[in-house]
Chain A
Amino acid sequence: MVSLARLCLALCLGLLATTVQAAFDDDGMVARVLACTACHGKEGRATPSGYFPRIAGKPAGYLYHQLINFRDGRRSYPQMSYLLEHLTDDYLREMAAYFGALDLPYAPPAATSAARALLERGQQLVRHGDASQKIPACAQCHGDALTGVAPFVPGLLGLSRDYVSSQLGAWQAGQRRAQSPDCMARIARQMAPGDVHAVATWLAAQVVPEQSKPAAEFKGKLPIPCGGVAAPAEAGSAR
C-alpha cells in the first residue's frame, strides 16, 4: 500500500515536472503567457460557456490589434489594460503570433433552447444581412465558413452568446473601439437590440467546422472601409 502511494507520488511529481518542462519549450512562450491562459483557458481555448473568449487559433493580426487596443484604451477592460500596460508592440505581436498559430480542437457548442424564429432571424442576418437596416451579412467579411479571414478578421464561431452580444453592445456604447474607420462600430449601431440577441444566439449554437482556420483572403470587396483590416495603426509607436 505504502509503495503504491510512493509510486503514485513519483508519477504525480513526474507529471508535474513534465508540465513545467513543457512550459519552457516552445521558446518559453507557454510559460510567458500563463497570465493569459489563467482566464482564457488552458492553451487559450476557452469553453463555449465561459465569458472569456477563446484566443487560440484566432488570426494573429486580429489578436495583435486587440492587445494594443486594450493597452492604449480603445477597448475597456481594466484587468486586460493593467496586464498589457508596460509591454511593447514587438512582444505583443509575438504573443499574438503564438496564440494565432495554435491549432486546437473546439468544444461542442452549448445546447440552445432559443425560439426558432430567433434562430432564423440570427441566421438571416449572419448569412444575408438586412439591406433595409444597412446591415451587411457577417459572412461577407468574416468568411463563408465564419472562421475569419487572415490576418485581421476574427472567426465568429466557438464564442459564447454572452460574449458576442456584449461585444456588439460595447461597440454600440463606444466601450469597444477599433482602428479608425471603425466598421464594426458602424454596423453594430445599425443593429436593434433584438438583432444583437438573434445573431449572438445563432452564432453560439453553431458547431465549429473541422477546418477551423481563417480563410486566406476575402472573396469579394469589403462592404465598408475597416481600419482594423489595413496595416496596424502606429498608435503605439511612441511607446
Chain B
Amino acid sequence: MGRAWLVWGAGATLLILLAATALVALNRLDELPLPEREAAAAPASPGLIAQGEYLVRVGNCMSCHTQPGGPAFAGGRAIATPFGSVYAPNLTPDDATGLGRWSAAEFWRAMHNGRSRDGRLLYPAFPYPSYTYITRADSDAIYAFLRSLSPVPLQSPPHVLRFPFNTQWALAGWRALFFRPGTFVQQGTQSAEWNRGAYLVQGLGHCAACHTPRNALGALRTDAQFHGGLIPAQNWYAPALNSGREAAVTAWPVEDVVALLKTGVSLQAGVSGPMAEVVFRSLQYLSDADLRAMAVYLRSLPPQDKPEPPVAKPAADLMERGQDIYRQQCAECHGEQGEGRRGAFPALAGNRAVTLADTTNLVRVLLQGGYQPATAGNPRPHGMPPFAQSLRDEEMAAVLSYIRNAWGNVAPRVDTIDVYRARERRGS
C-alpha cells in the first residue's frame, strides 16, 4: 500500500516537473542569451533614427503608449481587456521609469519573444504575437528612435488584472499554448511588393490584432486569420479582410485601397471606430510604396466567403416605420435612394458597413455618430451626428432594418434588443 503511494507520488512529481520544464522551455523558444555586456553602442545615425521613427508610425506605437493629451510615448494609457486593464509602459529613455537602461538586445527580446528587460513575461496586449515577425534590423531602428526621444519621468500604473491572469504562471501557460516566436518568410513565388506588404500587415502593422478573431482566452485564432471579429472590450467589430461581404478589397482597384489607408476614405468606403485611429495616427504617414505593397497583399487574400444564409425580409410595417424615420432624419444627407453625396456623406445603398451580419458598428455609428479622421488627404472630414439623444432604441432598430433592406440591400433586420445591447456595451 505504502509502496504504491510512493510510486504514484514519484510519478506525479515527475509529471509536474516535466510539465514545468516544458512550460519554461516553451517560454524560452528562440531566445538568444543576452550579451554579457553590450559593447557601448555607437551613437545612432540620423538616418537610422528617421527610419525608426517611420517604423514606429507603421506599428502605431504612440496610440497605446501615450495618454490622451499626455507626453508622447511616455505611456500610462490603460488598455482595456476582458481580463482587466493593462497599462502601456513608458517608452522614453528615462532610466527609472522608461527604457533608459534597456539595450538593443533586450528591446529585441521584448519585440521578438515578449519578454521584458527584467525577465518578466509581457502581456500580449502588447502585440508581440505580430511584432515577433519583424526583423532585428527594424527592431534596432525602432530602438534607436526611442533612444533619441527626450526622457520623460513618468511611472505607468501597475496593471489591474483579475486572478489568475495577474500571475506570471498563468501568462507562461498562455504563452506555452498560444505563442511561438516567428520569423517572416519571404514567399519566392510572390513579388517583392507582395512580400513587403505581407511583412507590414502581418508584422509591425499588427492588423491581425483586430481583424483575426480571438478564442476565449484572448489568443488569436491562427486557423481563422483575418476572418474578422468583435474587438474585445472595445466592442467594435473588425470586419473580415477576406470576405467580399465584409472588408475584402480583392475587387477594388489598388489605388482605392491605397486611398482608404492613406486618407480614411475611398470611392467605396470610409473608416470609422478604431480604424479611424489607425489611419489618423499610423497609416496616413506611410510611404505610397508601402501602402501600395499592403494593398497588393490585402487584395491577394484568398476569399473565405461561406454561402449566404437566407434572409427574411422585415415585415412591411417595420419597413414603413423605418422609411418614415429615414425620410425625416437621414435622407437629407444620405439621399432618398440611399445614394449619399460624393465627398461628403456615404451612400447607404450597396454599402457593406450597412449590411454587415454583425450590427455592432452600425448601431454604434447611429448612437454616437463620428468623424472620419482628419488626414492630409482629407483634412476637413464630414461627420455623422449622434442620435443617442434623439431616437429611441425601437426607432433606431426600425430605421436600421429599413436601410439594410432598401434599395437592393439585403440583411437580417435589427431588433430593439440589439440596439439596447450596443448602447449598454459600447466603450467610451
Please tell me if the beta carbons of A81 and B69 are within 8 angstroms of each other in the complex.
no
Out of A38, A71, A82, A236, which one reaches B385, CB within 8 Å?
Answer: A38
Q: Once the chains are docked, how many angstroms separate the CA of A206 from the CA of B330?
A: 37
Most buried by B among A24, A33, A73, A85: A85
CA distance A73 to B280 in the complex (A): 18
B379 touches A88 (CB 8 A): yes
Return chain B residues, CB-CB under 8 Å to A116: none
Residue-wise, chain B 360-387 has the 8 Å CB interface mask toward A (1 for contact) of 0000000011111110000111111111
Query: What is the number of residues of chain A that contact chain B, defined by CB distance less than 8 Å?
Result: 35
Q: Quick check: is A79 within 8 A (CB to CB) of the other chain?
A: yes
Interface residues of A in 187-239 (CB under 8 A from B): 235-236, 238
Query: Which residues, 1 to 52 on A, are CB-close (under 8 Å) to B?
Result: 16, 19-20, 23-24, 28, 31-39
Verify A82–B383 contact, CB threshold 8 A. Answer: no
Contacts of B371 on A, CB cut-off 8 Å? 35, 83-84, 86-87
- The smallest beta-carbon distance between B149 and chain A, in angstroms, is 11
Which DSSP category, helix, strand, loop or mixed, fits chain B's interface? loop
A39 touches B389 (CB 8 A): yes
Q: Tell me, rounded to whole Å, the shortest Cβ–Cβ distance linking B374 to chain A.
A: 5
Whether B276 is near chain A, meaning CB under 8 Å from some CB there, is yes
Please report whether the interface of chain A is mostly helix, strand, loop or mixed according to DSSP.
helix
Whether B428 and A35, one on each chain, are in contact in the complex, defined by CB atoms closer than 8 angstroms, is no
Separation of A79 and B390 alpha carbons in the complex (Å): 14
Query: B386: which of A19, A38, A72 is its contact (CB, 8 Å)?
Result: A38
Q: Is the CB of A78 within 8 A of B373?
A: no
Do B369 and A83 have beta carbons less than 8 Å apart? yes
Q: Mark A70-104, 1 if CB is under 8 A from B, else 0.
A: 01111000110111111110110010000000000
Instruction: Return B323 CB to nearest CB of chain A, in Å.
Output: 15
B344 touches A86 (CB 8 A): no
Q: Smallest CB-CB separation from B428: which chain A residue?
A: A78
Q: B382 is contacted by which of A19, A31, A39, A72 (Cβ under 8 Å)?
A: A31
Closest-CB distance, A176 to chain B (whole angstroms): 14
Given that A82-B428, A87-B374 are known contacts, is A74 also in contact with B69, CB under 8 Å in the complex?
yes
B68 and A71 within 8 A (CB): yes
Tell me whether A31 and B344 are in contact in the complex, defined as CB-CB below 8 angstroms, given that A20-B332, A71-B68, A87-B371 are known contacts: yes
- For the complex of A and B, the 10 pairs showing the least CB-CB separation, nearest first, are A72-B69, A38-B385, A35-B383, A86-B373, A86-B280, A73-B68, A78-B428, A73-B69, A88-B374, A238-B72
Chain A positions near chain B (C-beta within 8 angstroms): 16, 19-20, 23-24, 28, 31-39, 71-74, 78-79, 81-88, 90-91, 94, 235-236, 238
Q: A35-B383, A35-B384, A238-B72 are in contact. List 20 more A-B contacts (CB 8 A).
A: A19-B332, A20-B333, A24-B344, A28-B344, A31-B333, A31-B344, A32-B382, A33-B383, A34-B382, A35-B369, A35-B385, A38-B389, A74-B69, A79-B386, A85-B276, A85-B280, A87-B371, A90-B374, A235-B69, A236-B69
